[in-house]
Amino acid sequence: MNHALFLALNSIRSPALDLFMNLGTRLGNFSNIVWLVVLALLTYPASRAVRGPLGPRIRLQIIELLPTLLIGFALTAVLVASLKYGVRELRPGAVYGPQVVHSLQAEDSPYSFPSGHSAFAMLVVATFWRHARGKAQLALATYALWVGLSRINLGMHFPLDVLCGWGIGALGAWTARNAMRQLHESRWLLR
């Protein structure tokens, strides 16, 4: 079923869809952590200009989210790399030939399981989910789905790779959030 679903999703082709999916893949790259950190660091001082209770609330959320995101990033990256080089599942291009690969980006490793792009996307979604509402949550869910589907459609991953990547990203965010909670509680206990 994993391979059949891959072949079905990978066979949907058009030049516009290829560009759209390649953009989705770029948005799921682990290197995008840099942009998220820069955005947080620029937002923090800018929030001082926000009047009323919203400004301090934004700063508090940044103070909470940035370390959580960075800890989750480290955990997720280590787990993805460990599984990739531990399991060593070949990418679809190695299984079916180069005709299934439509990505403009080179492969970052010869191994498929799990999808690091999907893991990163879910890490971002799971980290920010509690602080988002309505349309922002819809945008976050769409982002994770877009990245995951792009990895299959472009021939870089099988569906199971993407599902496990999402699970790893969610686990990284959950673990980081709990670690930050424990750290916060221990600070209160020390007072």
Least confident of 23-27, 60-64, 177-181, 186-190: 186-190
On the question of pLDDT at 189 being above 60, the answer is no
**pLDDT for the residue numbered 187:** 67
- Collapsed DSSP state (helix, strand, coil) of residue 76: helix
DSSP 3-state of 120: helix
Q: What is the pLDDT of residue 121?
A: 98
Amino acid in position 59: R
Query: Exposure pattern of 166-183 as b/e (b: 16+ CB <10 Å)?
Result: bebbbbbbebbbeebeee
β-sheet bridge partners, residue 90:
111
Give CATH superfamily name and number for 2-30+67-190. Answer: Phosphatidic acid phosphatase type 2/haloperoxidase (1.20.144.10)
- Condensed to tens digits (0 to 9), the pLDDT of residues 68-117 reads 999 999 999 999 999 999 999 999 988 888 888 887 777 778 899 999 99
pLDDT confidence of residue 188: 54
